[in-house]
Each structure stands twice: as C-alpha cells, then as structure tokens.
Structure 1
Amino acid sequence: MDALVQLRGIKKSYGGVKALRGVDFDIRPGEIHALLGENGAGKSTLMKVLGGDISANEGTIIVDGKTANYRGPADAKASGIQMIHQELALAPDLSVAENIYLGALPTVIKWRDLNRAAGEVLDRFGFDIGPREIVGKLPIALQQIVEIAKALSKKARIIVFDEPTAVLSGKDAERLHEIMLQLRAQGVGVVYISHRLDEVFEVADRMTVLKDGETVGTIDAKDTDVAQIISMMVGRRMSAMFPEKPETEIGHEVLRVENLGRGRKVLGVNFSVRAGEIVGLGGLVGSGRTEVAKMIFGADPIETGKVYLNGEELRLKSPHDAVRAGINLLPEDRKGEGVVIDFPIKVNSTMAMMGKITNKFGFIRHSTESRDITELTDQLTLKCGHIGDPVSTLSGGNQQKVVLAKWMFAGGELIIFDEPTRGVDVGAKSEIYGLINQMAADGKAVLVISSEHQELFGICDRILVMGNGALQGELLPPDFSDENLLHLAMASGVAEQNGANDV
C-alpha cells in the first residue's frame, strides 16, 4: 500500500544537540501507526517537522509521491495534516465553539450557526460538552477533548495524536480509541504517540520506536509484545521498571488526617502516613483523591476535620502555610500548577524557598543558586542544556524532575505525588520511582496518587482506596491486584466511620 506521507533521512539539530539523526517514518492510509520512545527520543521533534512547525536540517518529506517543502504549519494543514499536540493550544477566555473553529471564524459571527456546528462535531464523536461553555472553566481533561474536537472538525488525511489520553479518564480514553478506529475505517492515517503501552496495543497496526534521535525499528503490532517494545525503547527488560527498594525503616507518624470533609467531594476521611512509608491513594477519577491532596496542601478549604503534622494540628489557609509546615505537593497538572513553564529551570527550582539563596538585603546570591541547583539537577539526572533554560524546553519527564527539584530544595517531611508519571516515558518513570524510593529511605513520608494500578503495586507499602469521596478500604502487598483495588473503588455507598474509612 502506498504511503500518504514518507519522512526520509530526517535530521535536526539544536546547537550541538542532535535531536534527529536520519529518521525514516511513513504513514499509510487507514492505519494507526504508533510512534514510541522515551522522552527526548525525538518523537515530538519528528512530528513538528511533519506538521511544518520546524524545518529539518536534512531529509525529505514526500506527500503522495511528491517532495513537499513546508514553509510553515499552514502548508502542512493544506496537505491534510492535523496535529493534536501534548501542549494545549486553546484560548481559555473563549467558548468551546469559538476554540473549535479558531482561525476560521468569519468577521461577522452567526452564533446560532457556530454553536450548532460545534455541537454537531462534539455529538458526532460522543463528547458531552456544551459548545457555549468557556474553555478556561473546564477541567483539563475536557480541555483536551476540545483540542481533539478542534482537529476533528477539519477534513484531515493524517491526524497526529501526541499523548492524547494523558489527562483523560478511562471512559474518555476508550471513547478516543473508538474515534481513532472510526478515522482508520474512513481511510485516515493516524499517528499515535503515547507512553501507555497497554492502550497502544489495543489500537495500533504498526509501531516505530525511536531512541536518541534514531530509528530502532518498525514492527507490526501483532508480531510484538510490551516487553519487547520496552526493551527497544530503553535497552532493558520490563522487570527493571520498578527499582529495588533500599532498606527503609518505618518511623514515627508524620501525617494524620481526621474526619476530613468538603461537601460531597470528600466525606469524613481518616488516615495516617509514617516516616519512611510510601502510601498509595487509589480509586477512580473523581473519587476525591486529588481533593484530599489539595486540602492537605492548603490549596482547597477544609470544611470539616483536622490535619496533623508530627502530632501538631495545622491550620492551613494557603499552600504557603503548608510549605512552611513541611508539606510538598507535586500536582496532577504540572504545567499549570507545578512550574512556571516559561521561567528558567533555576528559578522554578528555588521559588518555593527563596530565602536559601538570598542575602540579608533580599538580593539573590547567584553563585550559591548555580551551585545548589546544579547539584540538584545532577542528583536528579535532569537532562537540560543549562539551568538558565526555560522549563518549556524540557521533556515531560524532565519537567516533572524540576517540580521535584523545587521541593527537594525547599525541604519538608511530607511529599504528595499526584499522578507522578503522567505523560512520562517508561525510562523516566523508572527514574522517578527510584527517586520516590530514595525519599522514603531518607525518612520522608510519601503519599502517591495514581490511576495506574501497577504503579501503585510497584512502589507502595500499602494502598488506600477511595470511592464516592470516602475511603473504602486498604490493601497490603499480599492483596495487591487489579480486581481487589477495583472492587473497593467501585463499592457502593460510603464506608462506615469505624470501618474502611478509618485506616
């Protein structure tokens, strides 16, 4: 079958860094071609070349058998190529309908027609979002769906999905996969970039793996398995995904929450975390896990209940209070809440505790700043050109390491991870797991929220399971299984105060 597009010998360098080293890639009509690799492997750079966002230093783009010379994204779109980037390109103050047709709005807008057309796109693909809703007020998962709907509203021959399910619930991710299959049946070529290999295997026809800017290989999905793909991506076996835990002594109680409540979102939650312990918080999306974390961090108000740190009750009115008390949070939305994306790495790493690098007059001691942050980035194996580079230049895994650097620099006794490896490749995941283990070994109390069950099973000492805003039970390692976790997460009703809701 003739390819819709072929990329041949694509090379791209940024200064002395070779991002792509002669990569070959092609997309056929009516197929889903997964593009896989660790963060920094060159996937997004290759797709930016395809989408006309950047120009290759060497190589050829062939569209319908003819060489194409893209001068910008408009030329690529004219060829029928639509990109859904990992970074959302939405106007938060505009409506859903306006965002879907952004760039194609007439001078005089007929609002009824615009909203009807947007509603038809959303309905056709099964998305339950009102076209008049303001995008900035939507949860990040629904904003991602608006981004997808925007691309689907165009008549595309090739659609590139870059980490489209990273912020979607299981149900929405399944719906997106159905849409991909619909597009494939219509003869559209789909490029699917994702770190969720189980999802990739559900829909992909072929897989191409990149490593260090080079093509490792292209293989039919039916002829491979997860273990082989991981080996191609990182050069080691899947069993090495979760590093061996160092010897860790479980110490005194660091965190205790009593009868924590906020409306119907959080209902009388009780639990504790001890020094050196990694406690997981599992459950379905919307079960109240993130709300609990934000209440402990002072980001959301506590309506009922108490939070204790080392036996002392805290009166948290803001995250500033929590940080001063020794509580750190790596949020679910790291780009929106964890870092200032356009600020330098060194500024993001020190902003939570500026007093450590300023003199008595409030001026920054730049030599101290450079020394301390360089030591941190080396410890975290953060891959960057210079600590003065913006965080936006980093891969997802390295951005997460900047958030971690911020809290390691600030210090603290309790660290909360909310979806610590979302949008992070398998190699960086293993590194982050190792860092979490080491923090526990250093005596930190660690609370991990994750929607990936195997992640919780691989790093946690015990797992608390939430459902319907309440704690439904606790799992210890001998009972770790998808079946047991889901059974608790989907349990009907609210756990009794003296039962599973008090662990």
Structure 2
Amino acid sequence: MEPFLSLRHISKTFHGTRALNDVALDFLPGEVHCLAGQNGCGKSTLIKIISGVYRPDEGAQITLGGQHWPRLTPSVSVAEGIQVIYQDLSLFPNLSVWENIAVNHYHHGWLVKRRALRQVAEQAMASIHVSLPLDAPVESLSIARCQLVAICRALAQDARLIIMDEPTASLTHQEVEGLLEVVRQLREKGICVVFVSHRLEEVLAVSDNISVLKDGELVGTWPAAEMTTQQLGFLMTGQQFEYQTRALRQSAGSTPVLEVVNLSRAGEYQNVSFQVEAGEVVSIVGLLGAGRTELCLSLFGLTRPDSGEIRINGQPVKLRSNQDAISHGIGYVSEDRMNRGLVMAQSIENNVISTVFPQVTNSVGLIDETRCRELVSRLVKALRIKVPDVHLPVNTLSGGNAQRVSIAKWLAITPRLLILDSPTVGVDIANKAGIYQIISDLANHGIAVVMVCDEIEEAWYQSHRILVMQQGRLTHSFLPENSTQEMIAGVVNG
C-alpha cells in the first residue's frame, strides 16, 4: 500500500540545537500510528512540520498525496487532508456544536447558510456514528464530547490524516474506551490516525504501528502487536521501570496529620471522613465528577465546607483561605499546573519562592538574593529539575520539569501535608518515575500525602491506601497488598 504521507531526511534545528535529526516515517491510509517518546524527544516538532507550522531544514523530502514537497505550509497541509487536534482542542466555547464543526465552511459565499452548515455537522457526526446536541454551546459539554466535536470538525474538512495530541489525558476510563472506538471507526473509513499519548496501555490497545523518537532521532517503528509496555518504556528511555506495592506502616498511638470528619459541601461532596498519618500516601480514585478535586480544594482552603471538621495534628482548624492552609503546613499541587499551579511566564526562581516571600525577604521587605538562591538551588537539586538557569521562564520547561517546579514551590513551605491532584497528567514515563520517587521520598521524610489519581495502576503501586470516591462520597477503602487493580476498577467503573 502506498503511504498517504512519506517523510524522509526530516531535520529541524533551533538556534544551533538539533530538535530532529534525519527522521524517516511513512503513514498509511487506514492506519493508527502512534508517535511515542519522552517530553522533548521531537514529537511536537515533527507534528508542526507535518502541519506546516515549521519549515524543516534543507534536504527534507515530503511526499503527500502522491506529490513531492520540500516543505508544507498550513494551507497546503489542510488542503491535502491533514488535521491536527491539539490537547486544548481549539474550540469556540460560546458557539454551538454545529457552528464549531462547520466553522471552516463559513467562508463559502457571502451569506451564512445555517441549514447547509447544520447538514455538514450532521454528516460528520453520522460518519462515525456519534450523536451530539447540535444547538448546545460547546462550553456545556464534557471533555469527552468536546473531543468528538473536534474530530467531527476534522472530518468536515475531509480529513485523510488526523493527528491527536494527548486525546485521553482528561478522560475517564469509559470515555477513553469510547474515544478509542471512534479511532477504530476512523481507521475503518481509511483515515490515518496519528496518536500521541503517554498512556502506554492505550497506545498498545489502539495502534497498528508505533514509532519511537528519542533525543530527536527515530529509534524505530514496530507493529504494536509485538510490543509490551515494558519494552516500549525501555525503547523510549533506555530504562526499565518496575514498581512494587507499598505496605501500610502501622503507627500505634500516633496522631494523624490529617483527619476529615463528616465533611460536606452541597453539590460537591457529602459526609467525607478519612485520616492520613505522617509518612502515609493515600490516593483517591474515581470517575471525573466524583468530587475528588472539590474535596482537595476545601482541604486547601480555596472553598469552604458547609459542615464537618478538618483536624491537623489532632487540632480542629478553620481553613478560610489558602493562606490559612499554608499556615497549617498544607501544600496543594493543582491538576491544572498551567493556569492554577504555576505562573508560566515567570521564572523558575520566582515560582519556587512565591509561597515563601516572608522567608526570603530582608528587614526592609526586599528579596534577599543569597537566601533566595540557596533555597531555590537546594530544591532544584533535591527534585532533580533539569534546567540550565533558574531565571528562565517556566514555559521553557518540559511538562515533567514544570511539574517538579510546582512541587518545589510547596516543599519550600516545609509542609506537614501535601495534596497532589493528578500529578502525572501529561507527563512522560521517565518523568512519572521521577515524580513517584519524589512522592516516596516525601513519605520517607514523614510528610503525609493525599494524591488524586486518574489511573488505578498508579494508585495501586504508589499508595499505602486507596480510597474510592463516587458521586461525592467515599465508598470503599483498599490496601494494595490485599486487593487487585481489577477489584478496584470494578468498584470505580461499576
């Protein structure tokens, strides 16, 4: 079969740094082709060359739809049937479903033909057997349904190759299964799907072929059926990743760091009770909308519960704000590091010290450079943050290193309790392992950790205890050594 898109001698250099080096790939019609690799391996650069955003270095050979091109432009890429669905989806939240799907057809004529545009949207949905409320504003839809809107928009553009960048990062287990089924339908229609995901199990479940990039070079391409997650992880990183469950350490007579007693907030969570001891990692799993993040926000003082009690080291506390929480030694690493967790345009140093300004200022209120430098240097070294200069903005870092900065800013307060909300979302396998080691080190130093997990495997290996949250209530508690992942998944998804 002739490739729909063939790439040869694809290189890209930025300011003397080689981001891609002589990459050669073929993408076939009706194929699901995964691009795998760590953050910074060159996947995003390659996608932007395919979509025409970046010009490759001299010598590139691109064959698209039977024609030869030295480079692609965005207009040529779209005209030839290439569509990219980025992680943020790039939808118009205030417009309806049909307007988003048919948005690229608005330029056909002077008048907006609403009936014709609705038909475009209906035909795109029918082609993959999905049903969406055409007149509903996109902002009212779940993330999973927004994904379908983005896919239908690509189909309305006569897409022949669709690139999906981390499409499952914010989806529940059921929603992931639904999306993967849609990907299979696209394959049956003869559309090539380029799938980018850090979730290796999903990659193996849906892909026909997997191409691994490392340090800007193509390691190779393999049939997915011949690959395991362990093999794929090794090809991506050169490391073997093996995890063991954590046994619960009994501390007879000790006072828990955190006690939550019958905590409730209308419409979010009800009668939640649990406790976390020093050095214990407690994970909370559940479907999106179960109330996990809402509970964490109250534990950090960002929202106020209607009833119930929070105790820190046995003492009842009133957390009226995040400043109250910080004063009691509570840190919170948000699931949304780009908008809530970090100030992306500010330097690494400024982000790290943002929680401890009083400790790094002198008697006249100015920042003590020596004190600041010592604190930041210590945390960068302890968390193994790879950065040439702490004065660089956070938005220059990979996702894994940015997440380490978001953890560092809370370790600066020397917390008793650290709340980690989905700390490994959008992070590659090597950086996941690094974050897991950080969590283990925190526990070994006596810090209590509450972690919201989207993956049951992660919770099972990285926690001393696992709590299941359903519809705002804690319903089950598991010890990893006395349970299986399948048992927990049955409860969560049942």
1:169 maps to which residue?
Answer: 172
SS of the residue 2:262 aligns to: strand
For residues 419 and 223 of structure 2, what CA distance do their matches in structure 1 show? 40
SS of the residue 2:450 aligns to: strand
2:379 maps to which residue?
Answer: 376
Higher mean C-alpha displacement, 446-455 vs 98-107: 98-107
1:207 maps to which residue?
Answer: 210
Q: Deviation of residue 207 (structure 1)? A: 0.6
- Structure 2, unaligned stretches of length 5 or more? none
Q: Deviation of residue 185 (structure 1)? A: 1.2
| Letter of the structure 2 residue corresponding to residue 48 of structure 1 | K
Q: Go from structure 1 to structure 2 and tell me whether the alpha carbon gap of 1:144 and 1:375 turns closer, same or farther (over 3 Å shift).
A: farther
Q: Deviation of residue 92 (structure 1)? A: 4.3
Q: Is the 8 A contact 2:104 2:157 kept in 1?
A: no
Q: Go from structure 1 to structure 2 and tell me whether the alpha carbon gap of 1:101 and 1:411 turns closer, same or farther (over 3 Å shift).
A: farther
Residue 64 in 1 paired to residue 73 in 2? no
Q: Is the 8 A contact 1:259 1:268 kept in 2?
A: yes
Residue 425 in 1 paired to residue 428 in 2? yes
Q: Is the 8 A contact 2:37 2:212 kept in 1?
A: yes
Higher mean C-alpha displacement, 187-196 vs 123-132: 123-132
| Letter of the structure 2 residue corresponding to residue 84 of structure 1 | I
For residues 128 and 406 of structure 2, what CA distance do their matches in structure 1 show? 36
| Structure 2 counterparts to residues 104-503 of structure 1, below 5 A | 104-106=105-107, 109=112, 114=117, 117-118=120-121, 121=124, 125=128, 130-136=133-139, 140=143, 142-239=145-242, 242=243, 252-366=255-369, 368-489=371-492
| Letter of the structure 2 residue corresponding to residue 416 of structure 1 | I
Q: Go from structure 1 to structure 2 and tell me whether the alpha carbon gap of 1:324 and 1:150 turns closer, same or farther (over 3 Å shift).
A: farther
| Letter of the structure 2 residue corresponding to residue 388 of structure 1 | H
* TM superposition score normalised by structure 2: 0.90
SS of the residue 1:216 aligns to: strand
Q: Deviation of residue 238 (structure 1)? A: 3.6
Q: Is the 8 A contact 1:246 1:438 kept in 2?
A: no
Q: Is the 8 A contact 1:267 1:470 kept in 2?
A: yes
For residues 120 and 176 of structure 1, what CA distance do their matches in structure 2 show? 19
Q: Is the 8 A contact 1:248 1:441 kept in 2?
A: no
Residue 79 in 1 paired to residue 80 in 2? yes
Identity of aligned residues (%): 37
1:27 maps to which residue?
Answer: 27
2:14 maps to which residue?
Answer: 14
| Letter of the structure 2 residue corresponding to residue 41 of structure 1 | C
Q: Go from structure 1 to structure 2 and tell me whether the alpha carbon gap of 1:86 and 1:254 turns closer, same or farther (over 3 Å shift).
A: same
The superposition leaves residues 110-167 of structure 1 with CA deviations (integer Å, 9 ceiling, x where unpaired) of 5666566546645765666544444456555554444444334321111111110011
The superposition leaves residues 324-374 of structure 1 with CA deviations (integer Å, 9 ceiling, x where unpaired) of 322122222222322233333333323233333334444444554445334
Higher mean C-alpha displacement, 184-193 vs 359-368: 359-368
Q: Is the 8 A contact 2:212 2:236 kept in 1?
A: yes
Q: Is the 8 A contact 1:421 1:432 kept in 2?
A: yes
Q: Go from structure 1 to structure 2 and tell me whether the alpha carbon gap of 1:344 and 1:110 turns closer, same or farther (over 3 Å shift).
A: farther
| Letter of the structure 1 residue corresponding to residue 65 of structure 2 | D
| Letter of the structure 1 residue corresponding to residue 273 of structure 2 | N
| Letter of the structure 1 residue corresponding to residue 40 of structure 2 | G
2:45 maps to which residue?
Answer: 45
SS of the residue 2:476 aligns to: strand
For residues 170 and 141 of structure 1, what CA distance do their matches in structure 2 show? 11
Q: Is the 8 A contact 1:282 1:485 kept in 2?
A: no
SS of the residue 1:236 aligns to: coil
For residues 479 and 247 of structure 2, what CA distance do their matches in structure 1 show? 19
The superposition leaves residues 382-418 of structure 1 with CA deviations (integer Å, 9 ceiling, x where unpaired) of 2345333333333222221121122122332111112
1:501 maps to which residue?
Answer: none
For residues 246 and 255 of structure 1, what CA distance do their matches in structure 2 show? 20
The superposition leaves residues 416-461 of structure 1 with CA deviations (integer Å, 9 ceiling, x where unpaired) of 1121111111111100100000111111100111121111111111
| Letter of the structure 2 residue corresponding to residue 6 of structure 1 | S
Q: Is the 8 A contact 2:51 2:74 kept in 1?
A: yes
Q: What is the count of residue pairs matched by the alignment? A: 489
For residues 380 and 349 of structure 1, what CA distance do their matches in structure 2 show? 12
Q: Go from structure 1 to structure 2 and tell me whether the alpha carbon gap of 1:143 and 1:344 turns closer, same or farther (over 3 Å shift).
A: farther
SS of the residue 2:356 aligns to: helix
Q: Go from structure 1 to structure 2 and tell me whether the alpha carbon gap of 1:84 and 1:389 turns closer, same or farther (over 3 Å shift).
A: farther
Q: Is the 8 A contact 1:247 1:441 kept in 2?
A: no
| Letter of the structure 2 residue corresponding to residue 256 of structure 1 | E
The superposition leaves residues 81-126 of structure 1 with CA deviations (integer Å, 9 ceiling, x where unpaired) of 1111224434445444444444553575456665665466457656
For residues 304 and 207 of structure 1, what CA distance do their matches in structure 2 show? 51
For residues 343 and 126 of structure 1, what CA distance do their matches in structure 2 show? 45
| Letter of the structure 2 residue corresponding to residue 339 of structure 1 | L
| Letter of the structure 2 residue corresponding to residue 212 of structure 1 | D
| Letter of the structure 1 residue corresponding to residue 4 of structure 2 | L
Q: Is the 8 A contact 2:464 2:480 kept in 1?
A: yes
| Letter of the structure 2 residue corresponding to residue 13 of structure 1 | T
Q: Is the 8 A contact 1:249 1:441 kept in 2?
A: no
Q: Go from structure 1 to structure 2 and tell me whether the alpha carbon gap of 1:377 and 1:14 turns closer, same or farther (over 3 Å shift).
A: farther
The superposition leaves residues 53-97 of structure 1 with CA deviations (integer Å, 9 ceiling, x where unpaired) of 222224332213433244642232122111112244344454444
SS of the residue 1:439 aligns to: helix
| Letter of the structure 1 residue corresponding to residue 389 of structure 2 | H
1:495 maps to which residue?
Answer: none
Q: CA RMSD in A?
A: 2.8
| Letter of the structure 2 residue corresponding to residue 55 of structure 1 | R
Q: Go from structure 1 to structure 2 and tell me whether the alpha carbon gap of 1:64 and 1:103 turns closer, same or farther (over 3 Å shift).
A: closer
Q: Go from structure 1 to structure 2 and tell me whether the alpha carbon gap of 1:260 and 1:195 turns closer, same or farther (over 3 Å shift).
A: same
Q: Is the 8 A contact 1:466 1:488 kept in 2?
A: no
| Letter of the structure 1 residue corresponding to residue 30 of structure 2 | G
Q: Is the 8 A contact 1:95 1:133 kept in 2?
A: yes
SS of the residue 1:435 aligns to: helix
Q: Deviation of residue 281 (structure 1)? A: 1.2
